[in-house]
Structure 1
Amino acid sequence: MRLRPRANDTTKPKGQTMATNETASRPRGRLPEYRTIEEAVEIARSLAPKLRERVPQAEQLRRLPEENVNDLLAAGLIGLENPKRWGGPELNLDACIEVSAALAEGCSSTGWVYSLWSSHMWMIGQYPEHVQEMVFSDPDSLVSSVVNTVGAPERVDGGFRWTGRGFFSSGVDHCNWLIAALEVPAAEGEGKERRWMLIPRSDFEIVDDWYTVGLKGTGSKTIVLEDVFIPEERTVIWSELSEGRGYGARLHNSPLYCAAVDFTFSLPLSGPELGIARALLRAFEGRARARISGSSPRLAAEQTLHLTRYARAAAQIDAARALLLEDARRFCFMPASEATALDRAKCRRDVAFATQMCREACNSLFEAAGGSNIFESAEIQRLWRDANVAAAHHGLTWDINGNAYGRAVMDLPPLERFGL
């Protein structure tokens, strides 16, 4: 067993409760040894029953149980996208989609957090080489993120200083690094530029504010920083990653690390919703079988009407998966320099459309499942809550991302400067 301490939170902003970080005894993670996606998915499926048993614990804790994190690390699933240079298999984006879906079939929150932790490893592969080595040399490394932030960083000699907050940092209680998306004064000339800053756990506090209706176990809490210095070497520029000009593209000479960040950050988010929908479909099927078996002819006939909902939901879920995997396999091998504005908008459109198809499938099945599923103990209502919360993410909503595609088709400028 390897002891990995976490920093204790001893200060808190007025009126806020800070999350407690316990010192955890954790088995040392291992480097991924998977050569194929199928191998990784098989392991993820083998973990799902254990994850399902711990769902009540995850909801009560409002974060992942330590056992779930240990299982992911021990299985080597976190680093499927890790560069070969650092011992990773460098699997493509479809691996993250398929594995996060398999995990989410057992525990929605674990699938969600995993999809982010895994995609963040791709981002680490875009930092300067010595920064990559610092993170990848520790098999226990876990990286959270914040995209929605407040507080303007100040450019200072050698880097930046930031006092501010970030919101919805999924899985942050277990992480030793944080990536924060921030607008900063441009290095040259006037204006702003978007940078992704890598911050160690010792430099931020966690606010215990994750009280939600769904995805309760993700622990997507607020983080607080007070006058923290972030050296320039621990930052990367969004526009360079979007154009395939990051350190990773030059260092790894790999299609995955030459792909645009627009693709590598949006596609993995869709996997958990796919898994949640599959789990709800399975639960609905089990209830339908039980009610039809041994029923009177009249009741059996009534129940078969609900099976049309089952058939439609199954088709929606299958179609969503096919669309996502097609995009993952296409855009993963497309150099960022060749990706057009329409390509990027299409990816956003497809991710949102597939997610909303899964959400609609879950809602339809919940409506047909019967009144007994309104109780908090019912699996179907929990999955229904999780599906709707996941689908509310900015990168997965239809109105925002559908609009982006429509504007790209009509050659109109985007309404948003950044894709996430």
Structure 2
Amino acid sequence: MVTAVHVAESETDQLEDLCRAARTHRPYGEEHSTLHPDIWTALRSSPLPRAALPRYCGGLEWDVPRIVEAVRALAMADPSLGWAAAIHAPAGAFIARLEAETALTVCATDDSLPPLIAGSSAPVGSAEATGEHVRLRGTWPLVTSAPEMTMAALAAPDPQDGKTRWWFVPCSAVRVEDDWDAVGLRGSASCSVTCETLVPAGHSVRLTAPARLDLPLYRFPLYGLMSACIAAVAHATADRAVAAFRELTHTTQPRHAHATLAHLAPVQDAYALAVTRLSAAARFADTAVASAWSSALRGPVPDAERAQLRAASSHLSQTAATVCQDLFEAAGSAGVHRANIMESCWRDAAVASRHALVAARGRQLAGAQLLTGTAAGDL
């Protein structure tokens, strides 16, 4: 029991140290379109890549609420770091869908650290059966942390049935394109990757298939976990915008006004609306995560809860983007300066809200399940 306490404290200390370093190096990502080298090193050795990894692969098997909260904490320090964590932390659960012997092979690394798994959800590659292997080829866009990953999970239609599978490819077999130029989350280094290589057919998973481990973490819907982590980044970004806006309103006095922005009725209205919207959306998302996790502790998560989880994550992500946009507008010319983080929050939230899991497609799947009961397999 004593050992468990010390491990938990060590993990917490590691995340706090990572947050402090991320706040210090945050401008580096904006300038170089990648996190500072020290942050990548700290992230790789932090608990996040092990959070959802099976224990027999050196993982931690954290509870889902803990994973989501850790991602949110990192995003409060730097949204780009939070975005990387939102991808890498859930990716450990991919491994739970492999046979144990295969999982150990896939997770083997030269430095004894867990793999840093990144990938692209777009099934834009091709997989051609070649004996016990497939020849995987294609170019996949928007692979977060591509220059730093040690393992790529790349999607392509299964040559047997045409359904999407994800193949695990070592970073040595892919070429990273230096093409990340988005307006927000610039430090996430979400570049395209290209490969043409042979991959053992068994080194692949279907993310909507049940995990081989019957544990609460792996009974929790994987796409739901991923979308909740993405929503946590958006939530943290909007919280940062709210705090920055509040500070700005108390220190800025418009040229033709007799008081600071905080005393102007339109600004007060915008602030109250923003915090109310964000609070309500965050509460809905927290409730959806808690409800699905409670069900996972007992057995399979009901389809209705899976749909609510996706809907709530999407709603929080979209609400966060709206809040950042509205506060940026309400700040007027005072918000355009880079010294104030409002413009970067606006950009980061806009990019986060466009991820496929929380954008229109995610809402459509949730709505289809809630209305017709036909989309559970994709949730």
Matched, 1:154 2:125: no
Instruction: Read off the aligned partner of 1:354 and give its amino acid letter.
Output: L
2:64 is aligned, of 93, 102, 105, to: 93
| Matching residue of 1:200 | 170
Q: 2:332, 2:157 → 1: CA distance?
A: 48
| Secondary structure class of the residue paired with 1:284 | helix
Q: Deviations over 1:90-116 (max 9, x none)?
A: 212222221111111121111001110
| Secondary structure class of the residue paired with 2:48 | coil
| Matching residue of 1:356 | 318
Matches within 5 A, 1:342-353: 342-353=304-315
Structure 1: unaligned runs, 5 residues or longer: 1-30
Structure 2: unaligned runs, 5 residues or longer: none
1:60 is aligned, of 31, 39, 62, to: 31
> Residues 123 and 155 of structure 2 are in contact (CA less than 8 Å); yes or no, is this contact kept in structure 1?
yes
> Residues 15 and 47 of structure 2 are in contact (CA less than 8 Å); yes or no, is this contact kept in structure 1?
no
| Matching residue of 2:251 | 290
1:281 is aligned, of 226, 231, 242, to: 242
State the shift of 1:46 in Å: 5.0
Q: Deviations over 1:285-336 (max 9, x none)?
A: 22122237xx986556743642332233223333333222222222234359
| Secondary structure class of the residue paired with 1:153 | strand
Mark the CA change 1:168 to 1:300 in structure 2 (over 3 Å): closer, same or farther: closer
Q: Deviations over 1:22-65 (max 9, x none)?
A: xxxxxxxxx997549xx866754554343123222112221121
1:211 is aligned, of 181, 199, 207, to: 181
| Matching residue of 1:179 | 153
| Matching residue of 1:71 | 42
Q: 1:42, 1:275 → 2: CA distance?
A: 20
State the shift of 1:377 in Å: 4.7
| Secondary structure class of the residue paired with 2:142 | strand
TM-score, scaled to structure 1: 0.79
Aligned-pair identity in percent equals 20
> What CA RMSD, in Å, does the superposition of the two structures yield over aligned residues?
2.9
| Matching residue of 1:318 | 279
Matches within 5 A, 1:41-56: 44-45=15-16, 47-56=18-27
Instruction: Read off the aligned partner of 2:319 and give its amino acid letter.
Output: M
Mark the CA change 1:365 to 1:205 in structure 2 (over 3 Å): closer, same or farther: same
Q: 1:218, 1:32 → 2: CA distance?
A: 32
1:119 is aligned, of 90, 97, 119, to: 90
| Matching residue of 1:262 | 223
Instruction: Read off the aligned partner of 1:363 and give its amino acid letter.
Output: Q
Instruction: Read off the aligned partner of 2:295 and give its amino acid letter.
Output: M
> Residues 93 and 267 of structure 1 are in contact (CA less than 8 Å); yes or no, is this contact kept in structure 2?
no
Q: 2:167, 2:295 → 1: CA distance?
A: 26
| Secondary structure class of the residue paired with 2:49 | coil
Matched, 1:327 2:288: yes
Q: 1:47, 1:320 → 2: CA distance?
A: 28
1:365 is aligned, of 296, 321, 327, to: 327
Q: 2:262, 2:185 → 1: CA distance?
A: 36
Mark the CA change 1:34 to 1:321 in structure 2 (over 3 Å): closer, same or farther: farther
> Residues 40 and 99 of structure 1 are in contact (CA less than 8 Å); yes or no, is this contact kept in structure 2?
no
Aligned residues: 370
Q: 1:117, 1:67 → 2: CA distance?
A: 17
Q: 1:376, 1:301 → 2: CA distance?
A: 20
TM-score, scaled to structure 2: 0.87
State the shift of 1:418 in Å: 4.3
| Secondary structure class of the residue paired with 1:334 | helix
2:118 is aligned, of 144, 147, 162, to: 144
> Residues 108 and 115 of structure 2 are in contact (CA less than 8 Å); yes or no, is this contact kept in structure 1?
yes
